[in-house]
Chain A
């Protein structure tokens, strides 16, 4: 027992030190690599000399051999406001002619989920920016279906940064309506997220009604899963730990969700896993419909719940110790709410759901590293309940399952 405790504390200390050192090393460093000379040549063809300018915005001037200005190049992530995709900023190098026309562009760096970002690259989104004359404004551009968050971030970032360069460097006037189209309800996303969190105490108040227990789950499924397409995942946790939270400017819903989840986890307990997770809602519903469970010894379950903490440790070690950011893409559920095209990912999602039919919330309780993180920061004694053996029977947990019901898979 003492050895297990020492191991747990050592793992926690190791993780905290790694994250601290990583942030110390990357303090004040740009989040993306700067363009090489070769990159500048590719977006400003013909230019042989380049000068970096830091005022009024960060940009590079390119000159022809005879000294004439070939154009300017800029990296979208270096020009405010900060715009984030599904994970963090997407750096695109843009070349703009002296006439204010976007001539070429090239993605320098991104940490988006590769399977989604490929959809963006295979689409016409980036080519549709070519030839855009900033003096006339931007045309209407649609997000790429299936990679909505990444493509919307690219559109917004390119528009705002290109406008800043055209106005501040060249002195052109860019029509505002083409950059910031008026939205009917600009704060709808944060409003819905706050409403979602408020539904948790409301469902508690109405606990005498059977359906009321599932109100937050149902709302979570529609708001977080279908509307925001952003169930909290390892990507969000990793970006938060590396001090790159989502930007409120273009992801107000996700920002509010992450902020409230963290604050409430620390103050009240892991509300997200126990009541709001959209994938948890599906697994919970499946377990209700299919009442049969496999019989597993409680001791084995007790040992197995450590797997998700171990997975979290592996991911933290891999990312903050060895720079393996790809490890943040191991969870199945983000691919469900932004439908993936790969049969492998669909097989993964299907099996995860099927396993939860015979073992209640199998993924959440045994394997989910995001849940492990939220439980880690949760107020002691107020874990989600989904990861513990005692959930459903323990008053201290925030589990919304019916009191007295057997927890999950074990019909022992």
Chain B
């Protein structure tokens, strides 16, 4: 009975670990699907944050991943972030 209990616990832990690894594996794939982003001047980012031009969601995202993840649009007025966009931009 004791051996059975031990095996039972090990079975649970094994499958829980594999469930965790599966989530991690899928998470890694979503990271790989994201495009590489151009660097941004941290000073510009700081000004954007101070002026309140960034939405709170985007500001949180920046603080979580660092300023390198953003990029400016052509007239430098807005920081564009592609948080969940896969990198399948198809070029003709």
A interface vs B, CB < 8 Å? Answer: 33, 36-39, 41-42, 103-110, 113-115, 117-118, 121, 126-127, 130-131, 294-297, 300-301, 304, 307, 311, 326-327, 329-332, 342, 344-345, 347-348, 351-352, 355, 358-359, 362-363, 366-367, 409, 412
Indicate whether B19 reaches chain A with its CB closer than 8 angstroms.
yes
Evaluate contact between A106 and B90: CB separation under 8 angstroms: yes
Minimum CB–CB distance for A243 against chain B, Å: 20
Chain A interface mostly = helix
Interface: B12 (CB within 8 A): yes
Are A130 and B5 touching (Cβ within 8 A)? no
Nearest neighbor of A347 in chain B, beta-carbon distance: B18
CB distance from A82 to the nearest CB of B (A): 20
Q: What would 23 A/B residue contacts be, using CB atoms closer than 8 Å?
A: A36-B82, A38-B82, A39-B85, A104-B92, A106-B89, A109-B85, A110-B86, A114-B33, A115-B26, A294-B7, A304-B8, A307-B16, A326-B23, A326-B27, A330-B20, A331-B19, A342-B25, A347-B18, A348-B21, A362-B11, A366-B12, A367-B15, A367-B16
Contact of B89 among A42, A131, A347, A348 (CB under 8 A): A42
**Also in contact, A121 and B86, with CB within 8 A (given A114-B26, A294-B7, A326-B23):** yes
Q: Does B53 contact A (CB under 8 A)?
A: no
With A327-B23, A348-B18, A412-B1 already in contact, the answer to whether A114 and B30 are too (CB < 8 A) is yes
State whether B25 touches A345 (Cβ < 8 A): yes
* Neighbouring B residues of A107 by C-beta, 8 Å: 85-86, 88
- A104–B92 Cα gap in the complex (Å)? 7
The 8 A CB mask of B58-92 against A (1 = contact, 0 = none) is: 00000000000001011000101011111011111
Q: Is the CB of A329 within 8 A of B33?
A: no
Complex: how many Å from CA A42 to CA B4? 60
